[in-house]
Amino acid sequence: MILRTLIVSLLSIGAVAASTTTSANEPIQPIKAAAPKNIGMVELGKMLFFDPRLSKSGFISCNSCHNLSMGGTDNIKTSIGHKWQQGPINAPTVLNSSMMLAQFWDGRAKDLKEQAGGPIANPGEMAFTHELTVDVLRSMPQYRARFKQVFGSDQVNIGMVTDAIAAFEETLVTPDSRFDKWLKGDKKALNQTELDGYKLFKDNGCTSCHYGTAVGGTSFQKMGVREPYKTSSKEEGRIGVTGKAADRFVFKVPTLRNVELTYPYFHDGAAETLEEAVDVMGRIQLGRDFSKEENAKIVAFLKTLTGKQPDFKLPILPPSTNETPRPKPFG
């Protein structure tokens, strides 16, 4: 009996070791499940993420452009802002965004907290002010009670608001994709076409930019290395942050996690399908014209990166009071 137990233990250790070795030898690493430290703050952040009263119109919330039922984005070329203004750039997914080296395509926000305050006060997005945001939240006793529970004070300020939203967004990770299961040692998780696609992905240099846990998001790269990228978009990337000419058309590399859900693609939303995105990136970044068969294999691999989507009960938001500033959807 003791010998049998020892053998089973050794086999288990061997399986774990083999799984670890497989993962360690690959340029992509599996996603770990979220482990929030402050559940109360996460719940408050969830409420704020879904509350449209943080916008001037009372109609737009964080979830409007980063829809958690649609891969954490809005699946349109560029987002719609206050009074149906057309946004200048494609909305990046909020899923796994905590793994990014910075936020926004140009990296102008260093982290999720800094990013969370941007759209609220952007006249082309939620078109509110931080001061009015605080006034709205302070006007509702249920919100004040939540803030006091989490922060020890009901004197709400914008720093508390962005802290809470960021805490919620940090939980929006997508573990357990089929590719992650393969990385962990389940060799039946991928079929041969998908494995061939992953080999093409690596052999052609895609992993020089799309690597790590998020399969991207950890570097800034020029859009159009081997040939210029033709676009009607006026967005020029990092140059708007650094002022350096060398940063023109340099953008944060997007994550490829859940990429089959986050269409259309690129900062201008110009690629409507994964097949088109793979074709364009092959040409302008790698100098490669993928065959139809090669393209299909790479796309098959990319679809294995879809993980378990956030699944939770929608928050019930506090009712406005007589003192709550009213929305101005047409003003």
Point out the residues that are catalytic.
125
Helices 192-203, 292-303: inter-axial angle, 10-degree rounding: 100
**H-helix or E-strand containing 222?**
strand 220-222
Residues in Cβ contact with 245 at an 8 Å cutoff, skipping those fewer than 6 apart: 239
Secondary structure letter of residue 250 according to DSSP: E
How many angstroms separate the CA atoms of 305 and 256, rounded?
Answer: 7
The tokens describing 9, both together, are: 């233990």
Q: What Å distances lie between residue 165 and 9, 48, 67, 168, 293, CA to CA?
A: 44, 6, 15, 5, 43
- Nearest Cα residue to 133 out of 321, 318, 324, 329: 324
Distance CA 51, CA 316 (A): 10
CA dist 253 and 106 (Å) reads 10
Return phi, psi of residue 86, to 5°: -85, 125
